[in-house]
């Protein structure tokens, strides 16, 4: 069961996206600037679930579907820390398609979850992401330009989102986003992590293919 309406999103990444950001800023001044430090929980098994912790709250989004290259994401859960251990097992680990470990506490703060639970699981990573986000509106769609620091790597990401796929398609064309691949936060973070997660995924593909 999702909380609210699922929205379509198109997100691009690069070291610099000057041409795209210049187009966006020529169309719309930012209506809000947001600074945040967030913790993403990334699975080596799936990129169809996007759990993150921000401001003492766990937010889990799930990929509902893909249409014309646009990913449709819906909110599955919003829960305040500390999290009950049963919720950690069912909503975090099982959503990420990971076998839940043995949990020693009845409830977990974010720091306890990151320090005690995540390191014990080979297919799970907790990654801190620092963001500077400028929020815009174009053709009634929400657009953002974000300077993101992921595991000490500085990247720029531009995203547009809306429940209206037709309007979103027009915004992507106007901004030139259709020249790029649509890459979600879980995919981007896993790409930055590199080695360990790529090896785990390769091992899983090899074992599933059989002799």
Q: Where are the beta strands (DSSP E) in the chain?
A: 3-14, 32-43, 49-54, 57-67, 70-80, 83-84, 107-108, 124-138, 141-150, 153-162
Radius of gyration of the chain (CA): 18
pLDDT digits (tens, 9 = 90+) for 17-47: 999 999 999 999 999 999 999 999 999 999 9
Tell me the C-alpha to C-alpha distance, in Å, between residue 104 and each of 84, 89, 91, 120.
11, 12, 17, 12
Higher pLDDT, 202 or 90: 90
Tell me the C-alpha to C-alpha distance, in Å, between residue 20 and each of 39, 126, 147, 165, 176.
27, 30, 14, 20, 6
Residue 205 is predicted with a pLDDT of 40
The DSSP bridge pattern shows strands 107-108 and 49-54 to be unpaired
pLDDT digits (tens, 9 = 90+) for 104-141: 999 999 999 999 999 989 899 999 999 999 999 999 99
Residue 23 is predicted with a pLDDT of 97
Domains in the chain with CATH codes: 3-209 (2.40.320)
Buried b (16+ CB within 10 A) or exposed e, 23-45: bbeeeeebeeeeeeebbbbbbbb
In the structure, what pLDDT confidence band is assigned to residue 196 with cuts at 50, 70 and 90? low
Distance CA 11, CA 171 (A): 12
User: Six-digit token pair at 39?
Assistant: 């913790």
Would the pTM of this model clear 0.85, i.e. be above it?
Answer: yes
Average pLDDT over residues 88-96: 94
**What is the maximal distance between C-alpha atoms in the chain?**
58
User: Six-digit token pair at 70?
Assistant: 């646009």
In the structure, what pLDDT confidence band is assigned to residue 207 with cuts at 50, 70 and 90? very low
C-beta atoms surrounding 181 within 10 Å: 11
Higher pLDDT, 59 or 201: 59
User: Six-digit token pair at 162?
Assistant: 């809306």
Residue 5 is predicted with a pLDDT of 86
pLDDT digits (tens, 9 = 90+) for 140-182: 999 999 999 998 899 999 999 999 999 999 999 999 999 999 9
């Amino acid at each position: 069961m999702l909380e609210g309406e699922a929205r379509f999103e198109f997100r691009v990444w690069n070291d610099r996206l000057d041409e795209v950001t210049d187009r966006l800023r020529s169309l719309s001044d930012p209506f809000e600037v947001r600074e945040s430090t967030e913790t993403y929980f990334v699975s080596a098994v799936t990129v169809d679930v996007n759990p993150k912790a921000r401001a003492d709250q766990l937010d889990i989004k799930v990929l509902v579907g893909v249409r014309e290259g646009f990913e449709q994401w819906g909110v599955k859960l919003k829960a305040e820390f500390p999290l009950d251990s049963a919720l950690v097992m069912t909503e975090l680990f099982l959503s990420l398609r990971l076998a839940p470990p043995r949990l020693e506490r009845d409830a977990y703060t974010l720091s306890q979850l990151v320090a005690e639970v995540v390191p014990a699981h080979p297919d799970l990573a907790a990654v801190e992401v620092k963001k500077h986000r400028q929020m815009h509106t174009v053709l009634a769609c929400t657009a953002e330009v974000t300077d993101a620091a992921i595991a000490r790597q500085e990247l720029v990401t531009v995203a547009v989102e809306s429940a209206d796929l037709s309007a979103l398609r027009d915004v992507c064309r106007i901004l030139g986003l259709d020249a790029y691949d649509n890459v979600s936060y879980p995919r981007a973070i896993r790409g930055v992590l590199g080695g360990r997660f790529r090896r785990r995924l390769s091992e899983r593909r090899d074992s599933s293919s059989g002799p």
